[in-house]
Amino acid sequence: MADLTGKTVAFLTSEHGIEEAELTTPWQAVQEAGGTPILVSAESGTVSAVNHDLDPGGSYPVDRTVDQVDVAELAALVIPGGTVNADTLRTQSASVALVKDVLAAGIPVAAICHGPWTLIEAGVVDGVTLTSYPSLATDLRNAGATWVDQELVRSEVGTTTVLTSRNPDDLPVFSAAVVEAAAGS
| pLDDT tens per residue across span 93-132 | 999 999 999 999 999 999 999 999 999 999 999 999 999 9
pLDDT of 57: 97
What residues in the chain have per-residue pLDDT under 70? Answer: 185
pLDDT of 1: 72
Percentage with pLDDT > 90 across the chain: 98
pTM: 0.98
pLDDT of 136: 97
| Identity of the amino acid at 163 | L
Is the CATH number 3.40.50.880 carried by domain 8-183?
Answer: yes
87 is catalytic: no
C-alpha 39/C-alpha 111 separation (Å) is 15
Residue of 113, 125, 136, 162 marked active site? 113
pLDDT of 12: 98
**Domain boundaries in the chain?**
8-183
Strand 46-51's sheet: what is its strand order? 16-19, 46-51, 55-61
